[in-house]
Structure 1
């Protein structure tokens, strides 16, 4: 039996869901290896040969006999390889790339820090109000930028694209980052549109569903303790 071209190494994180969303939306067959952070599988010699930064997601493209790491590069590669979710129009293509980098440089890092200081550092005895406020406030500003961009359009770059797939898992996790979005109607309507996509909802269960990230009503207490304990070493070493 022929193996699929794409072998995906990922975990149930905002970054980890991005290529799963693309692959499920595009209907592309793929193999999947779940990377267990608790076992430090992302730091093993074999994995570091694929991704020298020791992070997920990473893909191995068998047809090209090479690995690609960094979620933005992965989605760009997949979109070009399969001719999906990336416009051929040069202006729209450029706009899509700009918003892809907007996620990589701003939304992910800022919301990630908002989550870290509230959900990992604080439960491990490092309550830092200044840091929390700084990253929550900046995350909120970025949500306002997205709200403005989405006024009068259904998707980030006009048509559904890898820009939406990149931004959605982070922005949609606003409950976990404790960022207020109730007064951002265009952003909330965008969430609703993507929430309604069956392939996206399937992707958010692969390799494991984490409803605590997305659902304000989910019971987060047990997961909060588990998550904080998993990264306790990072806090102690800081």
Structure 2
């Protein structure tokens, strides 16, 4: 299942590192010699301007529990200030030293506890979520304050997600990211006039959501796993969409 990784940027210098390496990003070309061809291709195809978001930790035990596509939340001063998604994980002491010792303006490089366990991120959005809203959501104690790099236990996520995906729950909390709604037999199910509904919605320029949900039902009825991804906005009939994300996968 999709997990939640919490990246702490509590100290002033750590917050400056967040702004430099996550918010503003780092040039892919500058670290190309440290990356293999697969990672280079991945980073370039997920970036519009050849920049990559990256964070590091010395806590390898927690880092090894992180998975690609986990949600990443950046914590600072009693609130979450950014959210994103884990794109790739990499253990590389040389690259870590190059980034934090030679490039980060406000870094405090410590050879005894280097930030060699790295997470490359994508889809970063700045948010403002009070820590108490999050602790209530996942069932942490009210006095909980984030102290270090961690991953929320799956059992807590199982309790909070219910019928919605973890991504949708966090999207609701942060008002950012995708609202993903799994479609299955329990989701109203196909009806005898599904074809008529689908045809009607396909010709109605204002029925974007309805059409996508109906298509998802069709695929679900064919024993395919289907998620309906709610968009923040839809193109108007007079302004066809140029690019953008599909509403179904």
TM over 0.5: no
**Between structures 1 and 2, the one with greater strand share:** 2
**Between structures 1 and 2, the one with greater helix share:** 1
Q: Which has the larger radius of gyration?
A: 2
TM-score range, shorter chain: under 0.3
